[in-house]
Amino acid sequence: MNQPEQIVIAGAGPVGAVCALALKLGGLDPLVLEARPENAPVNDRRTLALSYGSRLLLERLGIWARIRDATPITHIHISHRGGLGRAFLSAQEEKLPALGYVLSYGELTQALMDMLRQAGVRMRFGVQVKQAEAQDDAAVLVLEGDSPETLHARLAVIADGGRGRDAPPAKWSRDYEQVAVVAEVKSELPHRNLAYERFTPNGPIALLPRGDGYALVWVNAPDEAARIAQLGDAEFLADLHRQFGNRQGRFRAVHARGQYPLKLDYRGTEAGPHVVRIGNASQTLHPVAGQGFNLGLRDAWELAESCLESAPEMIGSATQLARYAAGRRRDALPGIGFTDFLVRTFSTPNPVAHHLRGLSLMALQMLPPARHFVARRMLFGKNG
């Protein structure tokens, strides 16, 4: 057997890349394996709403200064179609410059790739990790690429977005039977850094300020999403206006349309030795509360911290990973539960749910401590 690697990270999406950078800057030498070919453009139309807490993490790693194109969210307007009740969150009330920032997945990932290269992180592209299995002293990784091979590592960090073929069964799983239609749209009125979350019986519509327009996440049942996908631009915009209402005037232009099926898969991370799962490989969430990447970023940060604080021979040990896993459960499970509750209670045509929605929004608007609690949890997770 060749000398085992200390840490191998499978997947250089934003979560795996942040983890690799934090480890390298802290003095460790991880190896990153990414399925995408080197220099292939990151073809992903997702837009990410990053919380203010995530900005602080990216700042500490020097990544934030590299991101040119982040639009601040200073206010969030939450409402539901066809009923009373609305809530308004503001950065000023939280005494912060912004509640969050909107940026493109592709640009963030590209900026991270550039930083990893500059920091001298060892990376191999066009390599798929087919299997990662804990054995006595190390994880054994089976790689698929130009020539199949096996690697050993004291710690295998699975950050493959949950796409690995040998992923363990989810501990908590739900198919929402919903599809997110994403696009960039322009509205008649300027966005003034105001984000909208509008619940409709078909599913939530999120409009996130980005550049001089909005990033749209429009959730629908699969057949309705398929119908929307067939629409020409003018019909698409008219349909969106009917569903969303007139708060931003008419919608003027649309481009970069895409679709994502939505589900919940919570695997968490094994508390055994040598293999750990982070980001979407640990939890894939509905985007309604914009929590997925923010949680994944905290996974990456806390795992790197835990490795940097451990003695070299303890990296990948059951003791280290059990402590890490317990901390992450405390952060992830309330966020996942809240997201799941929002999807099931706020996105259904059920008349009882309709009244509950209105009452919840009124309560949130009338009770500043409740508003503050929700805002802090969304911005900073368990440390809210």
Ligand X SMILES: Cc1cc2nc3c(=O)[nH]c(=O)nc-3n(C[C@H](O)[C@H](O)[C@H](O)COP(=O)(O)OP(=O)(O)OC[C@H]3O[C@@H](n4cnc5c(N)ncnc54)[C@H](O)[C@@H]3O)c2cc1C
Nearer to ligand X, 129 or 321 (CB): 129
Examine residue 342 and tell whether it contacts ligand X (CB under 6 A).
no
Examine residue 125 and tell whether it contacts ligand X (CB under 6 A).
no
Examine residue 48 and tell whether it contacts ligand X (CB under 6 A).
yes
Closest contact distance (angstroms) between CB of 231 and ligand X is 19
125: number of Cβ within 10 Å: 16
Which of these ranges, 9-17, 80-88, 305-313, 360-368, lies near ligand X under the rule CB under 6 A? 9-17
Nearer to ligand X, 85 or 184 (CB): 184
Examine residue 13 and tell whether it contacts ligand X (CB under 6 A).
yes
Examine residue 222 and tell whether it contacts ligand X (CB under 6 A).
no
- Of the candidate residues 23, 115, 217, 240, the single one contacting ligand X (CB under 6 A): 217
Mask: binding to ligand X, 129-148, rule CB under 6 A, as x and -? x-------------------
Which of these ranges, 239-247, 248-256, 292-300, 363-371, lies near ligand X under the rule CB under 6 A? 292-300
Examine residue 46 and tell whether it contacts ligand X (CB under 6 A).
yes
Give the whole-angstrom CA distance, residue 346 versus residue 363. Answer: 15
Radius of gyration of the chain (CA): 21
Query: In the chain, count of helices (H) and strands (E)?
Result: 9, 18
* 3-state secondary structure (DSSP) of residue 44: coil
Closest contact distance (angstroms) between CB of 29 and ligand X is 19
Examine residue 335 and tell whether it contacts ligand X (CB under 6 A).
no
274 close to 139: Cβ distance less than 8 angstroms = yes
Closest contact distance (angstroms) between CB of 205 and ligand X is 12
Examine residue 116 and tell whether it contacts ligand X (CB under 6 A).
no
Closest contact distance (angstroms) between CB of 298 and ligand X is 10
* 3-state secondary structure (DSSP) of residue 304: helix
Which residues between 261 and 280 bind ligand X (CB under 6 A)? 279-280
Closest contact distance (angstroms) between CB of 131 and ligand X is 9
- Of the candidate residues 6, 14, 132, 139, the single one contacting ligand X (CB under 6 A): 14
What does the block give as tokens for 81? 């179609």
Q: State whether the Cα torsion 282-287-289-291 is positive or negative.
A: positive
By CB neighbour count within 10 A (0-12 exposed, 13-18 middle, 19+ buried), where does 50 fall?
Answer: buried
Examine residue 160 and tell whether it contacts ligand X (CB under 6 A).
yes
- Of the candidate residues 36, 80, 298, 377, the single one contacting ligand X (CB under 6 A): 36
Examine residue 112 and tell whether it contacts ligand X (CB under 6 A).
no
By CB neighbour count within 10 A (0-12 exposed, 13-18 middle, 19+ buried), where does 4 fall?
Answer: middle
Examine residue 288 and tell whether it contacts ligand X (CB under 6 A).
no
User: Cβ contacts of residue 306 below 8 Å, gap of 6+?
Assistant: 320, 323, 324
Exposed e or buried b per residue across 94-119, where buried means at least 16 C-beta atoms within 10 angstroms of its C-beta: bebebbbbbbbbebbbebbbebbeee
DSSP 293: H
Whole-angstrom CA distances from 110 to 12, 46, 106, 258 are 10, 14, 6, 20
Q: Nearest residue to ligand X, using CB?
A: 13
Examine residue 10 and tell whether it contacts ligand X (CB under 6 A).
yes
Give the whole-angstrom CA distance, residue 282 versus residue 265. Answer: 8
Which of these ranges, 11-19, 148-156, 189-197, 328-336, lies near ligand X under the rule CB under 6 A? 11-19
187: number of Cβ within 10 Å: 23
Interface with ligand X (CB under 6 A): 10-16, 33-36, 46, 48-49, 128-129, 159-161, 163-164, 180, 182, 217, 260, 279-280, 287, 290-294, 296
